[in-house]
Chain A
C-alpha cells in the first residue's frame, strides 16, 4: 500500500509540475465575462469602456447590458442602400439628439480615426462629429466614387468577434465588446486601400470587426488633353486630304498626390463642313467611331503626365471637321468629369498658278489720259504654298510685284525645275522686291507703274444689250449700259475677230469664253471685257480666254469674283466649298481693283513641281500667252488700213518680265 501511496504522490507532484508549465491559452477576462476581455483596445478604449466618457460599464455580477448603437426607430440602418441616404440618415440622426446622435457621432468620429481618449463627454464627441461632418461626408463620398463601399454585403461573423454597442447601465455610452454568438448580418463595408475595413452592421449600426478609419480624400487634380499633329508637325487646326493626322490623348496630374481610380473616355465625331468647337468639350460619338483603348480605369501618379493612347489616320475627305475629346472622371476627388476637345478641319487649300506671266499688285489706276495714279501700298498677295525646298503650290512662273507683302506665293516657279530659273532661286528669285526676309517670299516693292484707264478708251462703240452671246459679235467695240449677262454655253471668239466690250455696270459670266482651237498668227482672235463695275464668274465656267478688266466707278466696285451668281459672289460659308468646287483656266489676264480667287477645286498638297496649266490641280490657272499681245489693236481705233492690226515681225528678248 505504501508503494501505491508513493506512486499516487509522485503522480500528483508530476501533475502539478505539468500544470505549472502548461501554457496559459485562455484570454484574461473579467470573471464571468468573455465579452469584456482585458487587453485589446480600439480607438484608444479597452473593451467595455465608454468610448466618449472612458467610464467602465462592466458591472460585477451582471456584466454589461447593451442596445444597438443606432436604433433609428427600429430600422437602424437597414434602409440604407447608397451613399446619399447613408449621409442623409447619419446627418439626421446626428442632429436629432438622444442616443442616436451619440451613435452617429460614435461612427463618424471612429471613421475619422478619432481616439475616444480625446473626449471626456458624449456631447464633446457629438460636437466633434458635427464640426467635422463635411470632412466625413467627403471621405464617404470619395470611397463610394472609388467603388470601395458595399452597402448591403451579407457577412457571416464567427464568434467571438469584435462588436460594439450602446451601454445601458452605469454610463450611457458606446462601447466595444466581444460578441460570443455567430451570426450572419447585412453589413456596410468600407474597404481601405491597404486592405483593412470599416464595417457597420445594418441591423444595429454597430461598428464591427477590427474596423480601421477611412483615409483622407486625396487632393489630386487631373487635366485631360487632346493634342494633334498633321504630318508630324504642329498644326493650325487645318489638314488636307492625304495628310496624316495624329491625335494624342494625355492626362496630367498637377498635384503632389496620386489620384484615385479614374475612368477615361475618348469620344470621336466628324461633321460635314466646318464645325465650331464649343467652349464646353463635347461627349459625342458618331459615324461609327471606335475609340482606342485607354487602360482606364486607372490611377495617375503624383506630378505626372501619362499618354493614354494615340490615334493616327489619313485624312480622306474634304470639307469635314474631325473632333476628338477626352474626359476623365473624376478629375478631382468627389468632383465630376473634366474634358478636353480638339478639332481638325480637313479643308482644301486651293491655290493659284500663273504660267507665262507676272502678277502685280498695288498699282494705281490712272484716270482718263492722266499718267499719274495713287498706288495701294498695302496691296498684297495671299495664297497657300507648300514651302519646303520645292515651293510647290501657289506661285507664278515669272515675276510677282507687290507694294505690300507676298505671302506664300512663289516666283520663278517653272515646270520641272523645282528650284530655279537661271540664277534665280525659289521662292523669291523673281519677287519684287526680293530683299524682304520676312517669310522669304519677298514683297514691299517701292513703286509700280499706273494701270491705264481702259474704260475711258472706249470710242466708236456699238451699243448692245444684255444678255449678250459673245459668239454673235465680230471685230469691233461694243458697249452695254447697265448690267450684262454673258449666258451659259460656249461663247466662241471666231478667228481674226478682235472684240472689246465695255460695260457700265456689273457683268455676270455664266458660260465659257473661248478662242478657237487653232488659228494662224495673222488671224489671232482677241476678246477684251472692260467693266466699270464688278465681274462675277459662275462656278460652271471653266475657261475664259482674253483680257478681263474691272475698274472702279466713283470709288466703288472694280472687283472680279471667280465664283458668283448673277451679280453677287457666293457666300463665304459652309456652302462655298461645294458651290465653287471647279477649276477655272484663264488664258489671258485679269486686271482689277481687287481679285477674289474663290474656286475651291484641288488643294495645295496636290501640287507638283511638274505640273502644267493643263495638269495643275490649282483652282485657278492663268496662262498668259502671245495670243493676247499678238492681236493688239488700239482699242476703239478708227483706222481703215487693213494692215494696221498686223505685226511685221515678233521676237522675244530677255528679260522675260
Chain B
C-alpha cells in the first residue's frame, strides 16, 4: 500500500472513531440528563407528598404516588414510590394497604427502608409478632451496613422490641 492510501485509511479510521466517540458521549450525557431529571422529579414528589402527610392531607399524597406509579420508571424509582406510598398509607392508618405496598417494594429489593417501614406499621397495627420480626430484620441489615451510626440505630430497634415485648 502506498503512502497516500495509508493516509486515507488512517483518516477514515480517525473519522469513524471520532464519530463513534461523539455518539457514545452524547448517549452518556442524555442518559445522565434523563436520570438526573427523573431523580429531581422523584425528589420533589417525595418532598411534596411528605408535606401533604404532615398536613394530614393523606388522600392527596396517595393520589400523587398512585399517578406516579401509572407511568414507567426504573426499578429504583418504582421501588422508591412503593415505599413512599406505603409510608403514606401507614400515616393515614391504612395499615393493610401500607403493608401491601411495602411488600411490593420488598419484592424488588429488601432494604432497610422497607423493613423498618413494615416494623413500624405492624407495630401501629398492633401486630407485635410481625413488628418484632421486622425490627429484628432491621437489626440484621443494619449490622451488615457500613453506616457510621449503625450502633445507635440498632439500639433504637432494640428499644422498640423491648417495648413490644413489654419488658419496660
Contact = CB atoms under 8 A, between A and B. Distances in A.
Q: Do A and B associate with each other?
A: yes
Interface of A: 2-3, 6-7, 10-11, 14-15, 18, 22-23, 25, 35, 63-68, 71, 74-76, 78, 150, 153-158, 163, 165, 177, 179-186, 189, 191, 195, 197, 203-204, 206
Interface in B1-49: 6, 9-10, 13-14, 17-18, 21, 24-25, 28-29, 32, 43, 46
B78 interface: no
A417 B146 CA distance: 105
Nearest to B48: A195
A195 B117 contact: no
Given A6-B10, A63-B148, A184-B120, A18 B113 contact: no
Contact of A154 (B91, B151, B156, B158): B91
A185 B43 CA distance: 18
B160 A156 contact: no
Contacts of A11: 17, 21
B90 A179 contact: no
A590 to B, nearest CB: 74
B75 interface: no
Pairs A-B, 4 closest by C-beta atoms: A203-B156, A184-B117, A182-B113, A68-B152
B51 A10 contact: no
Interface stretch (B66-74, B79-87, B125-133): B79-87
Contact of B51 (A2, A186, A191): A191
B117 A154 contact: yes
Contacts of B160: 78, 203
B94 interface: no
A204 B154 CA distance: 10
B25 A78 contact: no
Given A66-B148, A165-B148, A182 B112 contact: yes
A66 B149 CA distance: 5
5 contacts: A3-B13, A158-B46, A163-B149, A180-B146, A197-B54
Contacts of A203: 153, 156-157, 159-160
B148 A195 contact: no
Q: Which of A157, A180, A191, A206 has the most CB of B within 10 A?
A: A157
A155 B43 CA distance: 14
Contacts of A68: 149, 152, 155-156
B35 to A, nearest CB: 10
B87 A156 contact: yes
A487 to B, nearest CB: 77
A22 B26 CA distance: 10
Given A7-B10, A179-B147, A189 B54 contact: yes
Nearest to B42: A158
B46 A184 contact: no
Contacts of B46: 156, 158
Contacts of B149: 66-68, 163, 165, 179, 204, 206
A35 B32 contact: no
Contacts of A165: 148-149, 152
